[in-house]
Every structure is written in C-alpha cells, then in structure tokens.
Amino acid sequence: MYSPSTLAGNRLFVYEVAGLNQNDNTDSLDYSIRQSGSVFFTVPYSRMNQEMRRITRLGGRIVSIKPFNGIAPVATVSSASTPQPIAQSSPVPEQTKKKAMTQAKEKTDIPVNIYRPNQPFIGKCIENYALVDEGGIGIVQHVTFDLSGSDLRYLEGQSIGIIPPGTDANGKPHKLRLYSIASTRHGDKLDDKTVSLCVRQLEYQHPETKETVYGVCSTHLCNVEVGADVAITGPVGKEMLLPGDEDATIIMMATGTGIAPFRAFLWRMFKEQHEDYKFKGLAWLIFGVPKTANILYQEELEKIAAEFPDNFRLTYAISREQQNPQGGRMYIQHRVAEHADEIWNLLQSPKTHAYMCGLKGMEDGIDDAISGAAAKNGADWSVYQKQLKKEHRWHVETY
Ligand SMILES: Cc1cc2nc3c(=O)[nH]c(=O)nc-3n(C[C@H](O)[C@H](O)[C@H](O)COP(=O)(O)OP(=O)(O)OC[C@H]3O[C@@H](n4cnc5c(N)ncnc54)[C@H](O)[C@@H]3O)c2cc1C
C-alpha cells in the first residue's frame, strides 16, 4: 500500500525574500547580509502559508518561490507585502494556469453516465494514503485515479461508480458501488485529469458466524496499489451540486466519509483560483467523527479555518471524546441541536443551502434537532423542509 506520507507533503520550496527586518544583531550592521538583498528559506509544502504570514509579519517581500531543486520559479510575487494564499502560490501546473476555470458553462452542463457499467473506464491508481491517524477507528483512505485518455469529467458533489474485480457468490461479475467524489472538477493535481475518493473499509461481524467480514469494493479500494487498474463508471448525481452563487451560505453536515463532497466544495471555495467563482459567502462544516484521530483532512480543514475565519466555520462533534449536554456521547445531531436556532435563522435566507452526507442514521437526529428551532418560530419542520427541498436548498446523500 502507498505510504501515508504524501509526495506533496514532503516537497520543499525555496523562498527568495527581500526586505526582511533583521534581528537585533544584524540590524546594527551597516552592510546587508547578502549582496542581492535577498535571503533564502527552504520551506516544506505543508508550511508554505505559515511561512508567508511570518515573512509578511517581518516586513519581507517574497521575490520568488522555486522548487527545492528548481530551475524556473513556480511563482513570482509582485505585491510588496500581501501574502498570497497557498492556492495562488503553490505550484499550479502550467496547463492549469493557462486554462481558465470557467464555471458558467459547466453549471448548465451536468455530466452524467459518461462511462456505463458495461464499458467502464479503466483508470490507474496514482495515490492511496491513510486518512485516519494512529489511535483512530477503522481504515479510511484517500485514493486518486488518473483519468488521462478518458472523457470522464465531473462536478463537485457528484459520485462515481467503482466495479470491484472478480465475481460474487453467484459467479456473476460484481456490481458497481458508488463513491462520492472528494476532489474538485479540476482534480487534486489541478490538471483536470484525476478523480479522488475518500473510502472507508467496511468491516462488520457476520450476524450468524460472528466472523469478521470485509466489504468487497471498499477493501479493494483501500488496498489498491499505485499503478493498479480500477474500473470506473459515471459520474452520477445531481443532488449535491454546489450553487454558483459566490455569496451563498453553505451549511455542510458530514459524518465520516460524508466529508468527501465537502472537501471538494471547500477546495473549490478556498484552495483553487477561478476566474468566475470567488467565494465570498459563509461555509460552515459540522463534522461528526468518533475520535480526533478520525478527523479526515484535519490539517487542511483547520488551515482553511485559520486563513478564512470570516468565510469558513468548522465545528466538530467528536463522539467518543466530547459529551453532549445530557452527559452522553457528542454526535452530530447534538452539535446541530446546539446551533439549531442559528441554523434555522440562516435557512430563512434564499441564499442558504444545507447539505447532509454520510451515515444514513444521521438524518433523523438532525431533523429532530432543527424541528425544535422551527417549532419555536411557529413552523413545522417537515413542511418547511419539503419547501426547502422544492427550492433545491436541502440536499441529502446518506448511505
Ligand atoms: C451515493 C453514495 C455515495 C457513497 N459514497 C461513499 C464514500 O464517499 N465513501 C465510502 O466509503 N462509501 C461510500 N458509499 C458506500 C459504498 O457505495 C459502499 O456501499 C461501501 O463501500 C460498501 O461496499 P463494499 O463493496 O465494501 O461492501 P459489500 O461487500 O457490498 O458489503 C455490503 C453489504 O454487507 C452487509 N452489511 C454491511 N454492514 C453490515 C452489518 N453491520 N451487519 C450485517 N451485514 C452488514 C449488507 O448486506 C451490505 O449490503 C456511498 C454510497 C452511495 C449510495
């Protein structure tokens, strides 16, 4: 299996910085430390934003950012002091920079079933890494497939089908399983040529034999090796699409791998640059997991929250570590109940969309939680929710 430490996480970049304030010792010197006036820092990819903020704080100006072994700069920063968010200054592939990421056309053109089960696209796995930290429960992997040579394209919020190899108990080829897409339409490499999934290995005890049973497709995906072929169908789904409105309020309620479509939303909102989609609204993720070690994509989520405090709110419900007001485990519905009045108020705006994704069991608890706030305002939640669904503002994908 592919190592959990990602290539991106290990990449190093050299920052050339001019105009840095020096320390007490060097400030007293009457000559510059380097003749060019620049200083150079080697920074891992994961710390790029932090380093940019530090440089700005010190009054520095980033002249260029090059890969550690780089020849050409991957970014040249012309503005004197404004730190650029990582999506702007990270090494965006050349073809992506040239290609405008238009949304208007794609909005009206929802791709579906480009590849059908009788003729799936065979993509190669190019990345497979663990998302659950040590001490966490179960196995969840982030898996990426190369779509080069295919016509497969998709939008945030859609799913793809995966056909596991081999045959079922009746000797018939396995049926496809659906997985929510965890990458934006541009893919994790921003070259429009990959698709990523967030897959939990299904594991349960056989009700009669009590033997441990592992799910066929989820086990196949969690163990797929880099370079291996995978049969892909789709895309499918129109329920979980993200509105094009840049001022929208997007409430996202996820449990476990239900984070997948929201990762795509958040990457589109905050990590990518688009000509015609510059998110200025409010995105609020309420994320339920059993333990801190199970917070999928934790580092990236918290980085977005730190960088965009006015536009992104991150709320966890960590069931085995936090308590609800009654002293029991803190599940997502308890967090929703805690914020129900606020959610209710937000839902009054036509610009608000609420999304729910993950375990099937989460729906009733969330309905109960919001119905209390609705009742306080003299409304019947089931009636109101129907209206929201009609307006395509209440989106549910549970499995
Ligand atoms: C729209 C959609 C999106 C989805 N997105 C994702 C995603 O992003 N990530 C993800 O990991 N999954 C996702 N799923 C679930 C995924 O499609 C598969 O259902 C899941 O991976 C299990 O498939 P499998 O082949 O591993 O299990 P299978 O081998 O097909 O086993 C599943 C079967 O095992 C039995 N079973 C399961 N649990 C128990 C139990 N506790 N006791 C007794 N029997 C049991 C049931 O008969 C069940 O039908 C999604 C599903 C849908 C419909």
299 is in an annotated binding site: no
Average pLDDT value for residue range 230-241: 98
Average pLDDT value for residue range 13-37: 46
Domain annotation covers residue 385: yes
Average per-residue pLDDT for the chain: 84
Q: How confident is the model at residue 1 (pLDDT cuts 50, 70, 90)?
A: very low
- If asked whether residues 42 and 156 sit together in one domain, one would say no
Q: Cα torsion for 134, 326, 357, 380, to the nearest 10°?
A: -170
**Do 257 and 251 touch, CB atoms closer than 8 A?**
no
Q: Is 183 in the pocket of ligand 1 (CB under 6 A)?
A: no
Per-residue pLDDT for 268 more than 60?
yes
CATH code for the domain in which residue 45 is found = 3.30.1490.170
Domain annotation covers residue 28: no
Nearest atom (ligand 1) to Cα of 179? 5
Q: How confident is the model at residue 386 (pLDDT cuts 50, 70, 90)?
A: very high
CATH code for the domain in which residue 263 is found = 3.40.50.80
Q: Whose CA is nearest to atom 24 of ligand 1?
A: 215
Domain annotation covers residue 114: no
- If asked whether residues 215 and 292 sit together in one domain, one would say no
Distance in Å, CA 179 to ligand 1 centroid: 9
Cα separation, 371 vs 393, in Å, equals 17
Domain annotation covers residue 260: yes
Q: Which residue has the higher pLDDT, 5 or 158?
A: 158
Q: Which domain holds residue 387?
A: 247-396
34 is in an annotated binding site: no
- Closest listed residue to residue 35, CA positions, set 18, 48, 14, 21: 18
Q: How confident is the model at residue 59 (pLDDT cuts 50, 70, 90)?
A: low
Q: Is 110 in the pocket of ligand 1 (CB under 6 A)?
A: no
- If asked whether residues 209 and 134 sit together in one domain, one would say yes
Which segment of 31-40, 70-79, 263-272 scores lowest on mean pLDDT?
70-79
Distance in Å, CA 266 to ligand 1 centroid: 25
Q: Is 373 in the pocket of ligand 1 (CB under 6 A)?
A: no
Average pLDDT value for residue range 87-91: 30
CATH code for the domain in which residue 167 is found = 2.40.30.10
Which segment of 48-62, 225-239, 276-290 scores lowest on mean pLDDT?
48-62
Residue positions annotated with a catalytic role: 179-180, 357, 397, 399
- If asked whether residues 126 and 165 sit together in one domain, one would say yes
Domain annotation covers residue 138: yes
Cα separation, 53 vs 356, in Å, equals 34
Q: Please tell me the predicted confidence (pLDDT) of residue 77.
A: 31
Q: How confident is the model at residue 201 (pLDDT cuts 50, 70, 90)?
A: very high
Nearest atom (ligand 1) to Cα of 205? 42
pLDDT digits (tens, 9 = 90+) for 109-129: 899 999 999 999 999 999 999
Q: Which two tokens stand for residue 258?
A: 């239900």
Helix (H, G, I), strand (E, B) or coil at 368: helix
